[in-house]
Amino acid sequence: MSRMTPFSSPLLLGFDTMEKTLERIAKGSEGYPPYNIERIRAAADGSNAERLRITLAVAGFRDEDLEVTTEENQLVIRGRQSEADGREYLHRGIAARQFQRMFVLADGMEVTSAELKNGLLSVDLIRPEPARMVKKINISVRD
């Protein structure tokens, strides 16, 4: 018995990597750290690029503890805090744990900046408007 997937249609060619990406996302849905994704309106300069901002709540992390990278078509944000030596906690409600949060980026998405302010890490992305291409394929005739 074979498993039917949305991408098993013979009309969808080359989408096998998309299917694997969706499966990976479904498996890794941890809720820490919380985040927002917002669309930012077009600037007054008239640029038509779609702009997005991902904001993660990373209270207690310094910029040295955070790493923002792009790997192929993924935005990867990692945080790793070092334990403070010499502290004795009577209660520890603020965890010093590491995290890795991944976002799959569409083709053409670019990370433009990352900023840490007041315990919030903001990562800005743009997707420039792609140029419309029409390519004519010549048909060869063999005798």
Residue pLDDT tens, the chain, 143 long = 556 666 667 667 777 777 776 666 666 556 788 999 999 887 666 666 789 999 999 988 999 999 999 988 889 999 998 776 778 888 877 767 789 998 989 888 899 999 999 999 999 999 877 778 899 999 999 87
Domain range for 54? 32-84+94-127
Q: The domain spanning residue 68 has which CATH number?
A: 2.60.40.790
Which two three-digit tokens encode residue 84?
A: 């403070």
Q: Is 103 helix (H, G, I), strand (E, B) or coil?
A: strand
Dihedral angle over CA of 96, 70, 126, 6, nearest 10: -100
Report the number of distinct structural domains present in the chain: 1
Number of Cβ atoms within 10 Å of the Cβ of 125:
22
Q: For residue 21, tell me if it sits in a domain.
A: no
